[in-house]
Amino acid sequence: MTSTPERTAREHTTLSGLSFGGILRSEWIKLRTLRSTVWCYAIIVALTIGLGLLLAAVMPSGGVMTQSTTPSADAQQAAWLQATTLGIGFGELVSAVLGALVITGEYGTGMIRSTLTAVPKRLPALLAKAIVFGVTTFVVSLLSLVATALLTAPLMPAKDVHPDFGDGSFWLAIVGGAGYLAFIGVLALAIGSIIRNSAGGISAVLGLILVAPVIVQILVGVTRSKWAQNLGSFLPNSAGGKMYSYAPTATTPADGVVSLDPGQGFLVLALWFAVAFVIGAIMLKRRDA
């Protein structure tokens, strides 16, 4: 099997060096060679399509919001969008867990030492991880949301909802939903790079998505204050949730209560990511691996 090594050297004809393209390719190989990745993406696809079809089948005529047999064109599109994006609320948890695991899994197994000896400047590795995971999550989410939209459309007329495929705002909201799932994922990745431990990283991210809104709700209930309501609007999931809402300007907010539009919601979520990523990057650069 293994006797004396006859040949360890090879021809130094085309020696390539370390490059960012190579690091991106490396992270892509890492992502797709783990079973957990495949499972998590399969769950996102199944949840999105399954829950979308379920809501489309059981929703009352005219959609959940209006329940009118002659809903407005906007209300019809909103009902179709609601069915299409119902799975996002669950898919975001999967995306967050997977995002945290992309980096904490390397710390847990020791892989990070192999990664950082190959990329000793470190930051390109973290950046490549975020790009590869973010883009992959975006593409998978977008494909499953588009598929859900197409699959739910035939069920809608029975609910007095007639999908308009030429409606740009509908498709923009679909893209926003995919972007939301991707950004929640890379936010989790950035938090994972700070905490470096799978259990801790996942807990922190799920705490931010699931527990923080509840705490803010309690605050709102107890203090009945506008600042508590406004605080809630800037949490990652409520700000990001605007990215896939339909005609959000239709409701007029009360005085002094912030209501974000989809673009602002995206910016707030992007800011959450940017802050966590910068902290993670600084700590990655400074700490011993």
Residue ranges binding another protein (CB under 8 A): 1-5, 7-10, 12, 15-19, 22-23, 25-27, 29-30, 33-36, 105-106, 109-114, 116-121, 286, 288-289
Q: By the 8 A CB rule, do 267 and 241 touch?
A: no
Residue 158 Cβ vs another protein, minimum distance, rounded to whole Å: 45
Dihedral of alpha carbons 166, 167, 170, 171, sign: positive
In this complex, which beta carbon is closest to another protein, that of residue 57 or of residue 118? 118
3-state secondary structure of 82: helix
Residue position matching structure tokens 């709102």: 220
Task: Decide whether 26 or 264 has the Cβ nearer to another protein.
Answer: 26
Q: What is the CA radius of gyration of the chain?
A: 22
**CB 160, CB 70: distance < 8 Å:** yes
**Across the chain, where does the E strand assignment appear?**
none
State the nearest-atom distance from the C-beta of 202 to another protein, in Å. Answer: 16
Minimum gap (Å) between residue 174 Cβ and another protein: 32
3 state SS of 16: coil
Minimum Å distance from CB 284 to another protein? 12
Q: How far is the CB of 208 from another protein (least distance, A)?
A: 26
For another protein, which is the closer residue by CB, 69 or 114? 114
Would you say the C-alpha torsion 191, 193, 196, 199 has a positive or negative sign? positive
Which is nearer to another protein, 1 or 254 (by Cβ)?
1
- How far apart are CB 163 and another protein at their closest, in Å? 41
Return the number of the residue (3 or 251) whose C-beta is nearest another protein. 3
246 neighbors 81 (Cβ within 8 angstroms):
yes
CB atoms within 10 A of CB 12: 6
To another protein, the closest distance from the beta carbon of 134 in angstroms equals: 18
94 contact partners, CB below 8 Å, separation of at least 6: 40, 43, 44, 47
Q: CB burial class (10 A; 0-12, 13-18, 19+) of residue 273?
A: buried
Nearer to another protein, 34 or 247 (CB): 34
Let me know: does 140 contact 43? Beta carbons within 8 Å: no
Q: Which is nearer to another protein, 9 or 254 (CB)?
A: 9
